[in-house]
Amino acid sequence: MSYTRKHLATVEGYVPGEQPAEGGFIKLNTNENPYPPSPRVFEAIQQVTPERMRKYPDPLYRRLSAKIAQVYGVKQEQVFIGNGSDEVLSLLVRTFVDPDEKVVYTYPSYVLYETLARLNAVGCEAVELDENFDLPKRAFSAGGKLLFVGNPNNPTGRGIPADTMGRLCRSFPGLVATDEAYADFSNSSCVSLLRDCQNLMILRTFSKSFSLASIRVGFALAREELVADLMRMKDSYNVNLLSQLAAEAALSDLEHMRANVLKIVRTRTLLISGLAALGFVVYPSESNFVLAKYPNGSARPLYEELKRRKILVRYFPLRRLEDCLRITVGTDGEVDALLKELRDILKK
């Protein structure tokens, strides 16, 4: 007998990319950064004394929010921090959407948006991206309480220019959460729109460009009242001390992050041309991953064979994505190894 709440029985869970149980894999499936974080992160963590460890962290994470505010040019009261941006996404639904209201998200996009709507038993509606995975006209007439838009979008890699996002904020009647998890790999960010768009919330993470997926820190930038609402909903100590210190240290070394981003963007070009030479249709990417369409049908066998050869990429058994692989941009060496195996599998 199941004790699960009734509406949860039909929720398809969000399945993140697999973690290999043993080593020896080249891991290009969850968009981690292939380069280490700033050495300052380790220095900061090593400063922690046993006495400090014994106590709870600052529930208002004041040092970190002050640093984020300084780096992104907003007021400290406009910063909300979570245990990864996944927690922030979850809190957005729980804080702002009532059961008779609706979450809207573009499709295909980050699967968690839909899962969160279903988990919270609120309405949900997908706005289908056009044939090039760009925002369709229909997005500008959508209604709902909360709109999720990836910018750049996962898994398509496409970015949305800030002026288009501004138009979207003006047309949407509810809140617009733009998920900028990959924004450091692109040229567009909507931080400058915060002043004029009262319904805009920008989500960022330390998991990608800052190479800190393990510390679980993500944040939202938004109008002060919206941040205050989120603060009332969060667990008291949702960001642990080591993570607060690590994130603060990472922000004090933006040069390190930017140098890593530059390397990844260069390798992205190699990956795209290598895949195109093998016959894949590769969508333009403003992220640290690319979406590659296999012209000969389902990409599942390719994904399986790469896994057998100890290379993990992401395959989505989902409409419009069955013939695609999403491949994280690794180091040059990792990308070379991937292309070599693909050449061998495809006999090219």
Ligand X SMILES: Cc1ncc(COP(=O)(O)O)c(C=O)c1O
Contact residues: ligand X, CB under 6 A: 31, 84-86, 110, 150, 154, 179, 181, 205, 207, 213, 218
Our CB check for ligand X shows the closer of 86 and 114 to be 86
In the bound complex, what is the minimum distance in angstroms from residue 296's beta carbon to ligand X? 27
Our CB check for ligand X shows the closer of 33 and 207 to be 207
- Residues 203, 179: contact at Cβ < 8 Å? yes
In the bound complex, what is the minimum distance in angstroms from residue 167's beta carbon to ligand X? 21
| Pairwise CA distance, residues 40 & 111, whole Å | 33
In the bound complex, what is the minimum distance in angstroms from residue 155's beta carbon to ligand X? 8
Measured between alpha carbons, how far apart are the two ends of the chain, in Å? 53
| Pairwise CA distance, residues 64 & 69, whole Å | 9
In the bound complex, what is the minimum distance in angstroms from residue 153's beta carbon to ligand X? 7
Our CB check for ligand X shows the closer of 153 and 164 to be 153
Under DSSP, the state recorded for 193 is G
In the bound complex, what is the minimum distance in angstroms from residue 260's beta carbon to ligand X? 16
- Residues 241, 57: contact at Cβ < 8 Å? yes
Our CB check for ligand X shows the closer of 154 and 267 to be 154
Place of tokens 């607060």: 244
Our CB check for ligand X shows the closer of 78 and 211 to be 211
Our CB check for ligand X shows the closer of 212 and 338 to be 212
In the bound complex, what is the minimum distance in angstroms from residue 206's beta carbon to ligand X? 7
Cα torsion 69, 109, 19, 316 to 10°: value is: -170
Our CB check for ligand X shows the closer of 34 and 150 to be 150
Q: Please choose, from the candidates 218, 227, 74, 92, the residue with its C-alpha nearest in 3D space to the C-alpha of residue 147.
A: 92
| Pairwise CA distance, residues 32 & 287, whole Å | 11
Number of helices and strands in the chain (H, E): 11, 12
In the bound complex, what is the minimum distance in angstroms from residue 86's beta carbon to ligand X? 4
Nearest residue to ligand X, scored by beta-carbon proximity: 84
In the bound complex, what is the minimum distance in angstroms from residue 21's beta carbon to ligand X? 20
**Phi and psi dihedrals of 321, rounded to 5?**
-120, -5
Our CB check for ligand X shows the closer of 84 and 144 to be 84
